[in-house]
Amino acid sequence: MPPETVPPELPTQLSAWKDEEAALLESLEQIEQEHGFIPRNIAEEVSRVLEVKLERLRKLQTKVESNVRKEVDALVAKWKDEEGSLILILHEIENRHGYVPREIAMEVSHALGVKLARIYEVLTFYHYFKLKPPGRHNMSLCMGTACYLKGAPAMLAEAKTLLKVEEGCTTADREWHLDVVRCIGCCGMSPAMVVDGKTYGRLNASDVSRIVNKSTQPKAAS
């Protein structure tokens, strides 16, 4: 996943683009191989450096035999016979990448013949789908009623000060993403939260820093 804050490194042969489209294509392929798809920030950077319109670049991009297209084609083939397959496809993408990148959504739109707006209509409606990449560590604080009553708001305040980030946001260094979720179904152990896929229960505000430290520490070689 490309860190969006760092200016992207562009391949060297890009300079030859004006003469040959092939060189640009090759460069794009290189970027594509590195990241799995061509991230928007890199595409924007390329178009800025080369003074190409983003649209033209996108058109060129479609010529690249990309992983994204292979991935999306495989997914579309898998769910081809299902009615109402869009959400299923988006689920798989979300699970694979941790969010739904715009580039992939665009590919899905091509492959299914569904307008991009329709896809975003679905994406923005459901809380499960995210449009931004998650952090390296992810904290989901449960704000179900049971957790709310038993002190989740205090835990949220603690997490906000500790990670220096608002709910639903990622820290500048992309280390932590803080989310508030509806009921994770562990009401018997409220208040609860999920950090990097592991559920912690029966917490209080002081436990937050302990869990954050534990998750940030590099795993001991055991």
Partner 1 sequence: MNTLTLVDLEKYAKTMAGSGPDWVRVSMDTGGIAAGADTVCTIFEKGAGTLGFPFEVRRVGSLGYSFADPLVEIAREGMPRVIYGRVDDEVAGHILQDHLVGRRLLDDHILAWRNRALAFDGPITYILVKDTSAEKGDKSQFFQFSLAEELKRCNLQDKVQVVRAMDMGVYDEGVAVQFLPSRVTYTNVLAPDVARIVKTSVQGNQVIDDLLYKKPDRQVRIVMRNCGKFDPENLQDSLRYGVYQGLARVLSSMKPEDVIAELKTSGLRGRGGAGFPTWLKWQITRAVERTPKFIICNGDEGDPGAYMDRSVLEGDPHSVLEGLIIAAYAIGATRGYFYIRAEYPLAVSRVEKAIADAHQAGLLGGNILGSGFSFDAKVRLGAGAFVCGEETALIASIEGKRGSPSPRPPYPSERGLFGQPTAINNVETLAAVPAILVRGGPWYAQYGVEKSHGTKVFAVTGKVRFPQLVEVPLGVTLREIVFDLCGGVFGDKDIKAVQTGGPSGGMIPEHLLDTKISYESLQELGSIMGSGGMIVMDQDDSMVEVSRFYLRFCVDESCGKCAPCRIGGYQMLQILNRVARGRGEKGDIERLRAISKAMQKASLCGLGQTAPNPVLSALRYFEPEFKAYLEGGVSYARKMNANRPAEPVAVEPANA
Instruction: Choose, by CB under 8 A, the member of 60, 189, 205, 215 that binds partner 1.
Output: 189
Instruction: Choose, by CB under 8 A, the member of 31, 64, 163, 186 that binds partner 1.
Output: 186
Of the pair 45, 94, the CB lying nearest partner 1 is at 94
Instruction: Choose, by CB under 8 A, the member of 10, 50, 154, 183 that binds partner 1.
Output: 183
* 77 is an interface residue for partner 1 by CB under 8 A: no
Instruction: Choose, by CB under 8 A, the member of 53, 182, 210, 214 that binds partner 1.
Output: 182
Q: How far is the CB of 151 from partner 1 (least distance, A)?
A: 10
Residue 126, φ and ψ in degrees, nearest 5:
-90, 135
The number of beta carbons lying within 10 Å of the beta carbon of residue 13 is: 14
* 146 is an interface residue for partner 1 by CB under 8 A: yes
Q: How far apart are CA 152 and CA 70, in angstroms?
A: 43
Instruction: Choose, by CB under 8 A, the member of 14, 50, 52, 187 that binds partner 1.
Output: 187
Q: How far apart are CA 222 and CA 214, in angstroms?
A: 15
- The CA-atom distances, in angstroms, between 192 and each of 28, 141, 163 are 44, 7, 18
Q: Give every CB contact of residue 168 below 8 A, 6+ residues apart in sequence.
A: 178, 179, 180
Scan for tokens 């084609």, then name that residue.
Answer: 73
Instruction: Choose, by CB under 8 A, the member of 3, 22, 70, 126 that binds partner 1.
Output: 126
Q: Give every CB contact of residue 117 below 8 A, 6+ residues apart in sequence.
A: none
- x/- letters, 81..100, toward partner 1 (CB under 8 A): --xxxxxx-xx---------
Instruction: Choose, by CB under 8 A, the member of 6, 12, 80, 125 that binds partner 1.
Output: 125
Both structure tokens of 15: 């300079």
Both structure tokens of 98: 């941790």
* 128 is an interface residue for partner 1 by CB under 8 A: yes
Which residues would be at the binding site for partner 1 (CB under 8 A)? Answer: 83-88, 90-91, 121-122, 125-129, 143-146, 148-150, 181-190, 192, 198-201
